[in-house]
Amino acid sequence: MSWVLAFLGFAALIILHELGHFGAAKAVGMRVERFALFFPPLLGRVRRGETEYAIGSIPLGGYVKITGMNPAEEIAPEVAHRAYYRQPVWKRIVVIAAGPAVNIVLALVLLTGYLLIWGTPVLAPTNRIAALGEGSAAAQFLRVGDRVVAVDGRRGDLETFRKQIGTHRCPGEQVDGCRAAASALVTVTREGREQSFLIAPIYSAQEKRPLLGFSYDGNRSFEPVDGVSDAVVTSLDQMWFVTTATVEAIAGIFEAEKRKELSGVVGGYEATRQSIELSTDRAVFLLALISLSLGVINLFPFLPLDGGHIFWALAEKVRGRAIPFSVMERAGFVGFALVIGLFMIGLTNDIGRLTGEGFQVR
């Protein structure tokens, strides 16, 4: 069932995005030839008035075909006045921006609803190991699911363990990546039995302390928000954080660490499916973030993304006359290569997560 629900969730995001373009085009008087969910080859189609409604066989998106989106397109004289490139710049921008705008507004609605229904999630850490850092000191000894019960024989809470690990210093100067002179004796419960391992902490310059290289799981609870206004403000703060993180990740595509953060359609779908299996609130929250990311990414200023069309429309307004189609065509080739590059990086990362550590949805 989670597969079906995840598919329906993604389909809804696509339909609403394209409905934004469709509704805006109709509102400003443009001629819409086709509204399609997914890409060709088409599985079915039906015509209502001047618009054909269709469903494709490749579930990677959707599209709205507006008459005259290509300036070189041959157009019947009786509909030429309703063609896309015959419209003033402001109408074109409204139509193109409507798709991402729907996704961004939808994200705000979902996040606000999430907060009003469930509240703000609070994660109280437990002593259960949730993840192990790749190549970390603990990776070859501990397992996800182990529960830490003592460090160097000292039992207590997580702060006690952190302080005890912090006593293990590197010989000489504490520099990033140096290994402690003495190993920590870490005691865990595994399959109902206590086991102990000698693990040498590694100093992290970023954290400014020695680490074993794992993270704890947590128990989730919720704190109620203080009405609709508080929910909206909190949602906007979260959306700004996600937006800046998305922009930084894509802008840093030439940095190896930033490339690892990218995910694609496969990753988004699988993370949504796993979230649905865990709880409804996780699924709603994740769909809100995916909707926001879809809106933000589509506003990047290169063709064939919506932001590319907006950029060239604004360039025409500044220039005072139409931009030669040959110029936009060359820019489109570059933009298409960038989009394919991002898609391939995201797909490669998704495959690596599917065959490796997973998507860490919990």
Average pLDDT over residues 1-12: 75
The model's pLDDT over 197-251, given as tens digits with 9 standing for 90+, comes to: 999 999 998 888 999 999 898 877 888 999 999 999 999 999 999 898 878 877 7
Q: Would the pLDDT of 26 be above 60?
A: yes
Show the tokens assigned to 24: 């805006």
In whole angstroms, give the CA distance from residue 96 to residue 90: 10
Q: Where in the chain is the domain with CATH 2.30.42.10?
A: 122-221
pLDDT mean across residues, the chain? 86
Asked if 62 contacts 81 with a C-beta cutoff of 8 angstroms, the reply is: no
Report phi then psi at 347, rounded to 5: -65, -45
Q: Would the pLDDT of 164 be above 90?
A: yes
Q: Would the pLDDT of 62 be above 90?
A: no
> Over pLDDT 70: what percentage of the chain?
88
Which value, to the nearest 10 degrees, does the dihedral of the CA atoms of residues 92, 95, 99, 104 take?
90
Q: Would the pLDDT of 184 be above 60?
A: yes
Q: What is the DSSP letter of 30?
A: P
Q: Would the pLDDT of 358 be above 50?
A: no
Compute how many other C-beta atoms are within 10 angstroms of the C-beta atom of residue 28. Answer: 16
pLDDT of the residue at 352: 64
Which fold, 122-221? Pdz3 Domain (2.30.42)
SS (HEC) of 198-265: EECCEEECCCCEEECCEEEEEEEEEECCCHHHHHHHHHHHHHHHHHHHHHHHHHCCCCHHHHHHCCCH
Report phi then psi at 267, rounded to 5: -65, -45
Higher pLDDT, 40 or 93: 93
**What is the greatest pairwise CA distance in the chain?**
86
Lookup result for tokens 């109280």: 124
Higher pLDDT, 250 or 331: 331
Helix (H) or strand (E) holding 35: strand 32-48
In whole angstroms, give the CA distance from residue 204 to residue 180: 11
Average pLDDT over residues 32-51: 91
What is the length of the chain?
362
Bridge-partner residues for 51, per DSSP?
48
Bridge-partner residues for 194, per DSSP?
189
pLDDT of the residue at 258: 61
Asked if 101 contacts 295 with a C-beta cutoff of 8 angstroms, the reply is: yes
DSSP-based three-state secondary structure for 47: strand
The model's pLDDT over 91-137, given as tens digits with 9 standing for 90+, comes to: 999 999 999 999 999 999 999 999 999 998 887 888 999 888 888 88
Of the ranges 181-195, 219-233, 320-334, which is most confident? Answer: 181-195
Burial 186-216 (b: 16+ CB within 10 A, else e): bbbbeeeeeeebebebbbeeeeebbbbbbeb
Bridge-partner residues for 150, per DSSP?
187
Residues in Cβ contact with 244 at an 8 Å cutoff, skipping those fewer than 6 apart:
none
Q: Would the pLDDT of 359 be above 50?
A: no
In whole angstroms, give the CA distance from residue 16 to residue 234: 24
SS (HEC) of 143-180: CCCCEEEEECCECCCHHHHHHHHCCCCCCCCCCCCCEC
Compute how many other C-beta atoms are within 10 angstroms of the C-beta atom of residue 97. Answer: 22
Instruction: Tell whether omega for the bond before 41 is within 30 degrees of 0, i.e. cis.
Output: yes
